[in-house]
C-alpha cells in the first residue's frame, strides 16, 4: 500500500490518498482544538492513543455487526481506512447530561437519562456546527430519510456496545460524537474516530474526567487522562 499525497488536513488528523482509489490513510496528530478551533494546543501522545483506541473500538463494532471504515492499522499514528463520502452530520448520543446539553437546557452535569438521546449538528465550521433535526437534514439534502434511519440505528447500537465495554473498564460513557460515510455503492458505514477527543469518559468511582474536557476546561492532567483510559482499554480488550 503506497501512501500518496495529502488530500486534507483537519484539526486532529491528516488524510492521504493511496494507490487504491477506494482506500485512504488517516494520520492522527497531537494537535488539540476546542470551541471550533478558537482554543488551540498540543496533547503529547494523543495521536497515538486516539489512533489505537479508535481501531480497537472500530474492530469491536464490526464484531457487533456495525459496518465501519476500518481496514488495518499501519503504524502508531496511521491507519488504512475505506475512503467514504462523509455525511456532513455530527451524530451525538448522550447517556448523562454534560457539556452543551447542560448549558443549553440549564441543568447540571451528571443527570442519568432514562434512555439515551440523539442529536445532530451540521458539520460546517463556518456556521459553528449548528444543531439541526432530521427534517432539516433532509431539507438541506445532507442525507436521505433512509440514511438517517440507518445512522440512528447504528448510533444507538454503537452506544450499547461502547457503554458495556467501558463499564468493564470501570469507565462511564457519558456522551460521544460519531460520523458516518457512504461507500461508493451507497452503503452507510461508521467513519472518523472514537477516542477521548470525541467521547466523554468518567471514572466509575470518582467521576474524574478522563477525556478532552480536561483540555477544554484547563484542568491539567490531560496526557495522564488519555494514557489512563488507553491503559484500561488495553487491559480489557483482547483483540
Ligand atoms: P476536522 O475536519 O473536523 O478538523 P479531523 O482533523 O479529524 O476533523 O479530520 C479528519 C477528516 O477526515 C474529517 O473531516 C473526517 O470527516 C474525515 N474522514 C474520517 N474518516 C474518513 C474516511 N473513511 N474517508 C474520508 N474522510 C474521512
Ligand atoms: N463532540 C465532538 N466534536 C464536536 C462536538 C462534540 O467530538 O465538534 C463530542 C464531545 O466530545 C462530547 C459530545 O460530542 O463527547 C457532546 O458534546 P457537546 O454537544 O456537549 O459539545 P462540547 O461541549 O463538547 O462542545
Q: Is residue 234 part of a domain?
A: no
Nearest Cα to Cα of residue 104 among 89, 117, 86, 123: 117
Mean pLDDT, residues 204-208: 98
On whether residue 162 sits in a domain, the answer given is yes
Q: Are residues 40 and 89 in the same domain?
A: no
Residue 210: CB within 6 Å of ligand 2? no
DSSP assignments along 171-186, one per residue: EEEEEEEEEEEE-TT-
Residue nearest to atom 2 of ligand 2 (CA): 198
Report the number of distinct structural domains present in the chain. 2
Among 77, 61, 75, 70, residue whose Cα is nearest residue 23 = 70
Cα(43) to centroid of ligand 1, in Å?
19
Write down the H helix ranges in 64-121: 99-105
Q: Cell 437519562: give the residue.
A: 113
Q: At 36, which CATH number?
A: 3.30.200.20
Length of the chain: 239
Q: Three cell numbers at 190? A: 461508521
Domain boundary, last residue among 82, 102, 126: 82
Cβ-contact 58, 68 below 8 angstroms: yes
Mean of the per-residue pLDDT values of the chain: 98
Task: Report helix, strand or coil for 39.
Answer: strand
Nearest ligand to the CA atom of 95: 2
Model pLDDT, residue 140: 98
Torsion of CA 195, 197, 198, 201, to 10 degrees: 70
CB contact at 8 A, 55 and 44 = no
Radius of gyration of the chain (CA): 17
pLDDT in tens, 21-37: 999 999 999 999 999 88
42-97 confidence digits (pLDDT tens): 999 999 999 999 999 999 999 999 999 999 999 999 999 999 999 999 999 999 99
The three cell numbers locating residue 168: 468493564
Asked whether residue 76 falls in the same domain as residue 191, the answer is no
Q: How does 107-118 read in b/e, with b if 16+ C-beta sit within 10 Å? A: eebeeeeeebee
pLDDT value of position 62: 98
Q: Are residues 117 and 212 in the same domain?
A: yes
Instruction: Indicate if 27 and 70 belong to the same structural domain.
Output: yes
CB within 8 Å of 119: residues ≥ 6 apart: 91, 92, 94, 131
pLDDT at 1 (0 to 100): 85
Q: Is 99 in the pocket of ligand 2 (CB under 6 A)?
A: yes
Q: Are residues 107 and 189 in the same domain?
A: yes
Confirm whether pTM is higher than 0.95.
yes
CATH number for 151: 3.30.470.20
Owning domain of residue 206: 85-221
Q: What is the pLDDT of residue 239?
A: 73
> Nearest residue CA, atom 9 of ligand 1?
10
- Residue 183 lies inside a defined structural domain of this protein: yes
Within 6 A (CB) of ligand 1 lie 8, 10-13, 15, 24, 69, 81-84, 86, 179, 181, 191-192
Which helix (H) or strand (E) segment holds residue 144: the answer is: none
Angle formed by the axes of helices 46-63 and 145-168, nearest 10°: 110
Task: Give me ligand 2 centre to Cα 239, in Å.
Answer: 28
Amino acid at each position: 500500500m503506497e501512501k500518496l499525497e495529502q488530500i486534507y488536513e483537519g484539526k486532529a488528523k491528516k488524510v492521504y490518498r493511496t494507490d487504491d482509489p477506494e482506500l485512504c490513510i488517516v494520520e492522527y496528530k497531537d494537535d488539540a482544538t476546542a470551541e471550533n478551533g478558537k482554543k488551540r494546543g498540543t496533547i503529547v501522545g494523543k495521536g497515538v492513543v486516539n489512533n489505537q483506541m479508535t481501531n480497537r473500538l472500530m474492530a469491536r463494532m464490526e464484531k457487533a455487526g456495525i459496518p465501519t471504515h476500518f481496514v488495518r492499522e499501519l503504524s502508531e499514528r496511521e491507519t488504512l481506512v475505506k475512503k467514504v463520502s462523509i455525511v456532513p452530520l455530527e451524530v451525538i448520543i448522550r447517556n448523562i447530561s454534560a457539556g452543551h446539553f447542560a448549558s443549553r437546557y440549564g441543568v447540571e452535569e451528571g443527570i442519568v437519562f432514562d434512555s439515551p438521546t440523539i442529536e445532530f449538528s451540521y458539520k460546517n465550521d463556518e456556521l459553528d456546527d449548528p444543531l439541526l433535526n432530521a427534517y432539516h437534514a433532509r431539507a438541506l439534502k445532507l442525507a436521505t430519510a433512509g440514511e438517517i434511519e440507518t445512522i440512528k440505528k447504528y448510533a444507538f447500537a454503537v452506544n450499547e456496545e461502547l457503554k458495556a465495554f467501558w463499564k468493564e473498564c470501570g469507565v462511564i460513557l457519558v456522551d460521544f460524537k460519531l460520523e458516518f460515510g457512504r461507500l461508493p455503492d451507497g452503503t452507510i458505514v461508521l467513519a472518523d474516530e472514537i477516542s477521548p477527543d470525541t467521547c466523554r469518559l468518567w471514572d466509575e468511582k470518582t467521576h474524574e474526567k478522563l477525556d478532552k474536557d480536561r483540555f477544554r476546561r484547563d484542568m491539567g492532567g490531560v496526557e495522564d487522562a488519555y494514557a489512563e483510559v488507553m491503559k484500561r482499554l488495553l487491559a480489557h480488550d483482547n483483540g
